[in-house]
Structure 1
Amino acid sequence: MFPSRPVRAQPIPTQVGIGLRPAHVAHVLEHRPAVPFFELHSENLFCAGGALWDAFDAVRRDYPVSLHGVGLSLGSADPLDPAHLAALRELMRRAEPALVSEHVCWGAIGGRHYNDLLPLPYTDEALDLMVARVAQLQDALGRRVLVENVSSYIHYTHSTMPEWEFLATLAERSGCGLLLDVNNVYVNSVNHGYDAHAFIAGIPAAAVGELHLAGFTRKQGLGGPLLIDSHDRRVDPAVWALYDYTLARLGAQPTLIEWDQDLPDFAVLEDEARLATACLDQHRPDERGLDEHHPDEHAHAGLAALAG
């Protein structure tokens, strides 16, 4: 049996949280750092108990938490895996997270998982599939979920709409929210040659429930620069600038620092969160003191504050 005292979900504040990885759990439990919220990967908690669940259970008593899925493969041609869906539903019941999220992607076909978040073609057919899958997921969980835009290194020549239009329509038709990964927007803008600001401008502010920030790796591809969403270093200055622009366009949003490989000391993540907080604070309605109909002014003000 699963032993747990009832814990009511604490709402995610409009502040900057950190993605909690197993290597940092002991530090968090010992030092109780002043982090507004933590995010954990859902699949790591598909267990009836054990050391990791006990640690998570302790964390969620002191901090708001969100759960971020990476394995449901919402956009696959295969049906959703009923065992995975049942495990996620049970985890939601037990954990009572404030936010639940997944990805706009596919990663499994024919029962084989590819250990990656693979992009979809942006077509009406793929959109209809994603609307149906997100509706199935939300019905199964009994709650609204957020879906995240993924980084990609290929594009489909038969796509009929830009990615931001696909996401906005998906949110409108399914009633889901969007987890907007600002790093992924920038990575894809370089890899596929589009305007990152146009992407942000095409996202409806009311649909956004959270933002992600992470670091990328610069490579040289056959056709020019190639950015890899590696999550193994600090946020790039270009992504900080795009984050500031995003806040100016969409308003202050809960934000998460992600770091998944070559994990640094926890203090490095706290420093990244501090930088994001300085930017976020410039865009709170009661603090920015600027005409809200001029987002470019907000962007310039926020960048100046971050640089200072």
Structure 2
Amino acid sequence: MHGPIGYADRAVPFWNTALTTSLTASYRYPPLGFGLGLRVDHYQDLLEGERKVDWLEILSENYMIPGGRPLHFLERFRERYPLVMHGVSLSIGSGDPLNRDYLKRLKQLADMVQPAWISDHLCWTGVDGKNLHDLMPLPYTEEAISQVVERVREVQDFLGRRILLENVSSYVSFASAQMHEWEFLNAIAERADCLILLDINNIYVSSHNHGFDPLEYLAGITADRVQQFHLAGHDNQGALIIDTHDAPVIDGVWDLYRHAVRRFGPVSTMIERDDKIPPLTELLAELQHAREIAEPILKAAA
């Protein structure tokens, strides 16, 4: 496996080199700081304004095309920001064969972008060749672990790099489950030798929906497997919380983020917003709040 290239001359995150080295000696890729998900609404502001974002996450499927304006803009962003790729269609947990055409297009995009890393979700998104356009949960069983591990290894061999798998929010559980979600995620990361994109909001959402302790979730994840954090908003309907990415991060998620920084150190953190997208200034304010939470914790740990 190999790591990212091309960022030697890019800006570094706010934490100093000594601190980063002391807390991330076993991380697979260097942390990037604080970023945002790239959305069309913010193209001009991010290209023309003062740079207040350390890095950007692109949705892989939006750019897996032969040409056109999206790739034109992507090249401009690549010149200004470190980029990571985040997908929604790998369907790593499906019983279908891996989609070879999808993997080829994903690798072509990665060869062009040279992302710091590539991620997708620990879920399945289709069956019999049909994409459900949703992130469906898996049963937490040894059988499922074995299947996913084999598929992750195959994907990593094809891409020539480790990938990150993200925990999804869930609303149902399986009677066949043999373990907790965090044990399932951790086992796959360890056995497949991949990394983890830990979505803090999704942990909060699922802990409410299923009644588990989110701090136990954090404690059950191997620290040096966590490469990235997601922070996002949701819709609290009382008995059920729906992961919507259409609202600001709430205090409960910020509190859980504090615990995550203490547990995992300087992990690249970003704000996700996919609907009801506000002006960039509002997301930058949220991102600054993340910095203000993380910085004193990391300095105290140095």
TM-score normalised to the size of structure 1? Answer: 0.87
Question: What SS is found at the alignment partner of 2:227?
Answer: strand
Q: Which residue number corresponds to residue 16 of structure 2?
A: none
Query: Would you say the 8 A contact 1:12–1:99 is kept in 2?
Result: no
**1:80-95 alignment to 2 at 5 Å?**
80-95=98-113
Instruction: Show CA shifts across 1:243-278 (max 9, x none).
Output: 001111121211011000010001111011000010
Question: What SS is found at the alignment partner of 1:98?
Answer: coil
Q: Which residue number corresponds to residue 276 of structure 1?
A: 290
Q: Which residue number corresponds to residue 37 of structure 2?
A: 19
Question: What SS is found at the alignment partner of 1:260?
Answer: coil
Question: What SS is found at the alignment partner of 2:281?
Answer: helix
2:55 aligned with 1:48: no
Q: Which residue number corresponds to residue 8 of structure 1?
A: 6
2:129 aligned with 1:111: yes
Query: Would you say the 8 A contact 2:31–2:227 is kept in 1?
Result: no
**1:43-82 alignment to 2 at 5 Å?**
43-82=61-100
Find the partner of 2:300 among 276, 288, 291: 288
**1:136-285 alignment to 2 at 5 Å?**
136-220=154-238, 225-284=239-298
Out of 24-33 and 161-170, give the one that drifted further.
24-33
Question: What SS is found at the alignment partner of 2:58?
Answer: strand
Paired residue total: 278
How far off is 1:34 after superposition?
Answer: 1.8
Find the partner of 1:28 among 46, 50, 73: 46
Aligned residue type for 2:87: G
Q: Distance in 1 between matches of 2:277 and 2:198?
A: 23
Query: Would you say the 8 A contact 2:88–2:120 is kept in 1?
Result: yes
How far off is 1:33 after superposition?
Answer: 2.7
Q: Which residue number corresponds to residue 151 of structure 2?
A: 133
Q: Which residue number corresponds to residue 298 of structure 1?
A: none
Query: Would you say the 8 A contact 1:219–1:228 is kept in 2?
Result: yes
Question: What SS is found at the alignment partner of 2:275?
Answer: coil
Instruction: Show CA shifts across 1:92-143 (max 9, x none).
Output: 1111001110110001101111111110000001101110111111011000
Unaligned runs of 5+ in 2: 11-28
Aligned residue type for 1:52: P
TM-score normalised to the size of structure 2? Answer: 0.89
In the TM superposition, structure 1's runs of 4+ consecutive aligned residues that sit over 2 Å from their partners are 7-14
Question: What SS is found at the alignment partner of 1:17?
Answer: strand
Aligned residue type for 1:193: G
Q: Distance in 2 between matches of 1:76 and 1:235?
A: 31
**1:294-305 alignment to 2 at 5 Å?**
none
Find the partner of 1:101 among 119, 129, 133: 119
Query: Would you say the 8 A contact 1:101–1:179 is kept in 2?
Result: yes
